Structure 1
Amino acid sequence: MIPTRHLGDLAVSAQGLGCMGMSHGYGTSDDTQSIATLHRALDLGVTLLDTADFYGSGHNEELIGRAVAGRRDQAVIATKFGFANRLGEPTVIRGDAFHVRKACEDSLRRLGVDHIDLYYLHRVDPSVPVEETVGAMSELVRLGKVRHLGLSEASAATIRRAHAVHPISALQSEWSLWTRDIEDPVVPVCRELGIGLVPFSPLGRGFLTGRYRSVEGLADNDVRRSQPRFSDGNLEHNLAVVAVVEELAAAKGITAGQLALAWVQHRGQDVVPIPGTRRRRNLEENLGALDVVLSEDDLKVLDEVGDQVAGERYDRTSLRFVDR
């Protein structure tokens, strides 16, 4: 049985499932395969399913809705709002109260549910005080449309301001062996306030599994093609980092991906990573990381590896929308 962890006072499986890739970002996907993976996750005891209204311009929420139909009580549905554009259009972030209400209604309709378990602000709108955004989100809680609130890619100062308006249960940000920006000061602030941590891309967009040696073979619309860590020069340097992970994993009789995930799981009992996959075999491999025990020496080696990564995690355009 998968152990339980808490995001604030919300109980979830110790590992969740990131569903973005089932609709966009990593080439073509197959709905039948994705729903089979979602059902397998629920069968295995994964409760936290992570989506957003932006993923696939609403398709991802509809997919989750189809997958949980008849099994709603087994799922903790987390979705996000804030990107007010559709895929392929210029990026627009909205956190105004009107958009908060409309986005929630649209998500409830696509998901086919009467409430959202965890509702995140996907990106902070720099033109709207976060107090207004979270105030409108708290009204959704009062109305029973949302149960818990979260933030994504928010700074320590923004987290404090938001939490003063309404308790924040979770912060979703990138966190992995090769992305450790939030460790100071964001993580300490979350722990001070009792906010759980939900790392996305805990496998470095798949790179830490050792399965990718180049961008050749990736779909033309795969987001990794535009990310600096996968570019010439940085890619070769980062492959040497992955080689260390692979060597340590082999010595333990596990995969590189399981080792990288285990490192994230070991960050604390308030950490619930959401590795994404469209395939059942990868889901099952990822869950195997929950059984991996790492020694202090293992953690030291892996910490040192993470310090050697080359390149920014996003391109310049995407970094503009991260609240620092």
Structure 2
Amino acid sequence: MHPLPATFVEGFHDEAEVRRMEYRPFGNTGLAVSKVSLGCGTLSQLYGNLDEAEAIQAVQLAVRRGINYIDTAPFYGQGRSEEVLGRALKGIPRQAYYVATKVTRYERDIERMFDYSARKTRESIERSLQLLGVDCIDVVQIHDIEFAPNLDQVLQETLPTLEALRQEGKLRFIGVSAYPMEILREAITRAPGRFDTVLCYSRNTLFDQSLARDYLAFFLQQKLAVICASGHGMGLLTNAGPQPWHPAHEHTKAVCREAAEYCSRRGIELGKLAMYHFLQLPGPATFLSGMQTQRLVTINLEAHSQGLSTEEADVLAHLKESVFPKIVHPHWEGIEVEQYRAAMKASKCQYAGPVSHRPRPTDVTLSRTCSRLLETRVFRIAIIDVHQEPSPITQQPTPRSRKSRENSVTTDGTDVRHGRNLGDHTVALGEKSLFEQDLGDQFKIDASTQGVQKVNLRCGADSMRIELKTEEDFQGVMYTRGSYYKQTKPCFIRPERAARTLEMKFNLDQCQTVNNGEVYSNIVVVQHDPDIVTPGDAAFAVECDFRKPRGVTVSSEIQARDSPAASRITLTSPDPSVNSQTPNEHNSVHSDSGTVTFVPSRFRNGTMPEQRVRGTVETVEIPISVPVQQPHEEL
């Protein structure tokens, strides 16, 4: 049993339940907050239809049972969350809770989604005060700073405005939030002592532990109140599953579905297991979770106060050991930012002409007008399914109505339903492959290795080296997963001048390289236009496998510990969120040496193969001789 907090109100609270709750220091603020806190993103339509009456009762039940920290934002339902929460708070004594909201992210419309200006920040605080029905907001956080045009505006305009509002008595403490944690570190480093709290989400889950591994110690050293949010991975780790908009990799979603089905067959809620795991991390001040129903409040509080049953603990152990290790892409960092920037660029009609500025065998031209393009929002890149086309496609375009949901984007007179003619090389596109995309549609653009002659991977003792060779001078960028928005070496390479060879080298503990039992993997994106993913771009899954020493030595620059690594490169997608659940469907090459080379089939021996291959890569080059030695005896 725990002592009663300063927020306890006799006659309102369930004292026995409050004493079961743990209360922790909230950084240097002097507050003590409940270990479990209430996230109100679910008090909107973000996670499906909302039963407002039930949601209000859930909020009041949560506070009555000891939760005293509540988080919301104007973006959640464009004010709906703050409005519903304000109605719920009318039935709760003001002393009983601390309320937090956010600024800078507001509308669903792409051009009005973010606003970091002083004027909008002031307007937002005034509106939040009104909707919440309070005189002062306890914590105001700058929302999703990774989307800002630059960090300077956040630190030189938004932050000083909040500091002025604090002096005016309209807020007490200032925080910052983002999904990529490196930008949080940068903001905190550049503005020492000016932030009181830091919120990171989906970084302490059953499939992503990067908060504890890479950043928690730094945040705590800065005396910040660490708010750990979304232990359910924004719905991934629940039996019901995520909403359609979830940006996670498709393979990640599939593994989480497998876990949910395993739990459902045993009458267990995956969300409770996720919540229990979420709460075990020492260090954060509070663990924020959405609870829009009284049932969810009960499940989450039981996970805190009662733990798991023997059966639930066994299921959790099984999932940790046998299911979640299958996940290759534990996060979706960078995906939403790149989609946002692409949509912003499109909304300003900068792509009403050719998709790319570089010469190509086939430029893709949008068939709609600029005003039509303003409705475009999301751009994704799909995977090439590997199969063979016996002959070039010769069918003519089929007329279609402008009302068709398939849309019409043509390439050199070839209808997108049938294929795209790449000179002597044909890549067939799917029924729903296009550049322009309507809201709500799941249409995608095929990726290819157009312009790529060779991708070479070398696995070193503690590093990976990737070399790109192209047909023509390369003027784009090459980067690893989640590195596009930061644009810092060694994870992001942009040549100073055009060249046909580009090399990237990074250590195995850099660039968000994933280590899964001595298998080190990453995604390397080859993007021809520095500003936007376009058709013809590609991404490669690169992997160095040190699990099975072979007792051989590789000399010189590709020394791979005491033995060479098994290496693999797989054609994937510039947008990991639409990658295949089965990477083996895509052509990959691998070797048991420290070197493996990806060569598109059209460059093999300098000639075209007789059959045109939809996909890429069928040749492995091993340019070294590997002397076989006797394996060392195990001591």
- Give the TM-score category using the shorter length: 0.7 to 0.9
Any residues of structure 2 matched to 1:199-278 within 5 Å, and which? 199-212=228-241, 224-229=243-248, 231=250, 233-241=251-259, 246=263, 255-278=269-292
Q: CA deviation at 1:267?
A: 0.9
Any residues of structure 2 matched to 1:1-324 within 5 Å, and which? 1=18, 2-8=21-27, 9=29, 10-70=31-91, 71-84=93-106, 86-90=107-111, 92-124=113-145, 125-127=148-150, 129=152, 130-132=154-156, 133-153=158-178, 154-162=183-191, 164=192, 166-175=194-203, 176-212=205-241, 224-229=243-248, 231=250, 233-241=251-259, 246=263, 255-291=269-305, 302=320, 306-311=324-329, 312-313=331-332, 316-318=335-337
Q: What's the counterpart of residue 219 of structure 1? A: none
Partner letter of residue 272 of structure 1?
A: T
Q: 1:241–1:309: 8 Å Cα contact kept in structure 2?
A: no
Identify which range, 114-123 or 128-137, moves more after superposition. Answer: 128-137
Identify which range, 130-139 or 102-111, moves more after superposition. Answer: 130-139
Between Structure 1 and Structure 2, the one with more helix by share is: 1
Q: CA deviation at 1:183?
A: 3.6
Q: How far apart, in 1, do the equivalents of 2:140 and 2:199 lie?
A: 11
Partner letter of residue 155 of structure 2?
A: E
Q: CA deviation at 1:227?
A: 2.8
Q: How far apart, in 2, do the equivalents of 1:118 and 1:58 lie?
A: 17
Q: How far apart, in 2, do the equivalents of 1:146 and 1:300 lie?
A: 46
Q: How far apart, in 2, do the equivalents of 1:69 and 1:303 lie?
A: 46
Q: How far apart, in 2, do the equivalents of 1:267 and 1:23 lie?
A: 29
Identify which range, 313-322 or 135-144, moves more after superposition. Answer: 313-322
Q: 2:202–2:231: 8 Å Cα contact kept in structure 1?
A: yes
Structure 1 residues 47 and 286 mapped into 2: Cα distance closer, same or farther (>3 Å)? same
Spell out, residue by residue over 1:196-242, the C-alpha distance to the aligned partner (whole angstroms, 9 max, x if none). Answer: 22222211233323343xx7xxxxxxxx21335474x5433333455
Aligned residue for 1:28, secondary structure, equals coil
Identical aligned residues as a percent: 26
Q: 1:156–1:185: 8 Å Cα contact kept in structure 2?
A: no
Partner letter of residue 163 of structure 2?
A: S
Q: How far apart, in 2, do the equivalents of 1:234 and 1:304 lie?
A: 14
Q: How far apart, in 2, do the equivalents of 1:91 and 1:316 lie?
A: 19
Is there any run of 5+ residues in structure 1 with no aligned partner, and where?
216-223
Q: What's the counterpart of residue 548 of structure 2? A: none
Q: How far apart, in 1, do the equivalents of 2:163 and 2:274 lie?
A: 36
**Number of residue pairs matched?**
307
Partner letter of residue 58 of structure 2?
A: T
Q: CA deviation at 1:284?
A: 0.7
Is there any run of 5+ residues in structure 2 with no aligned partner, and where?
1-17, 309-313, 341-481, 487-635
Q: How far apart, in 1, do the equivalents of 2:335 and 2:293 lie?
A: 31
Q: CA deviation at 1:157?
A: 1.2
Partner letter of residue 277 of structure 2?
A: W
CA RMSD, 1 decimal: 3.3
Partner letter of residue 104 of structure 2?
A: G
Q: Could you tell me the TM-score, scaled by structure 1's length?
A: 0.81
Structure 1 residues 157 and 185 mapped into 2: Cα distance closer, same or farther (>3 Å)? farther
Structure 1 residues 7 and 166 mapped into 2: Cα distance closer, same or farther (>3 Å)? same
Q: 1:42–1:74: 8 Å Cα contact kept in structure 2?
A: yes
Q: How far apart, in 1, do the equivalents of 2:273 and 2:63 lie?
A: 23
Between Structure 1 and Structure 2, the one with more strand by share is: 2
Spell out, residue by residue over 1:57-113, the C-alpha distance to the aligned partner (whole angstroms, 9 max, x if none). Answer: 1121111111112522212111011114x2344453222333322221121122121
Q: How far apart, in 1, do the equivalents of 2:26 and 2:95 lie?
A: 18
Aligned residue for 2:49, secondary structure, equals coil
Q: CA deviation at 1:53?
A: 0.9
Q: CA deviation at 1:315?
A: 8.1
Structure 1 residues 236 and 117 mapped into 2: Cα distance closer, same or farther (>3 Å)? same
- Tell me which of the two structures has the higher relative contact order, counting C-alpha pairs closer than 8 angstroms and 6 or more residues apart: 1
Q: CA deviation at 1:16?
A: 0.8
Q: CA deviation at 1:55?
A: 1.1
